[in-house]
Amino acid sequence: MSSVPQTYTISDFIEWNGKRQLVLAPDFQRGSVWSPSAKVFLIDTILNDLPMPQIFFRTKIDATQQSTVREVVDGQQRLRSILEFASGKIRLTSKAPKYKGKTYGDLAGC
């Protein structure tokens, strides 16, 4: 079976996480290891529309829930950073000079 690259939005990741259709730490993954400054740097990269490495998933079907579940194969640290920012757990620092001091909620008007 071959895989076909697909493009997803950050809102897709947030939605999947909210619906428990995203598995950030399957058995083969390590835990969260990025520093706060690394997380802010990634968010700054996204906000400035700069390229970000691809994220890879293994898609499975959860028969009991009759839904698709995506296990993160590569990109867990990036997804954790995005989801933490979206949930208001990260305030941007000088690593994101244009957005320093802002949280996800502050960006609605930007």
What is the pTM assigned to this prediction? 0.86
- Closest alpha carbon to 11 in 24, 22, 23, 2: 22
Within 8 A by CB and 6+ apart from 30, the residues are: 76
Has residue 89 got a pLDDT over 90? yes
As a whole number, mean pLDDT of residues 68-80 equals 93
Q: How far apart are CA 73 and CA 41, in angstroms?
A: 22
Q: How far apart are CA 77 and CA 34, in angstroms?
A: 6
Per the CB < 8 A criterion, the answer to whether 23 and 69 are in contact is yes
For residues 26 and 83, the model is more confident at 83
For residues 55 and 30, the model is more confident at 55
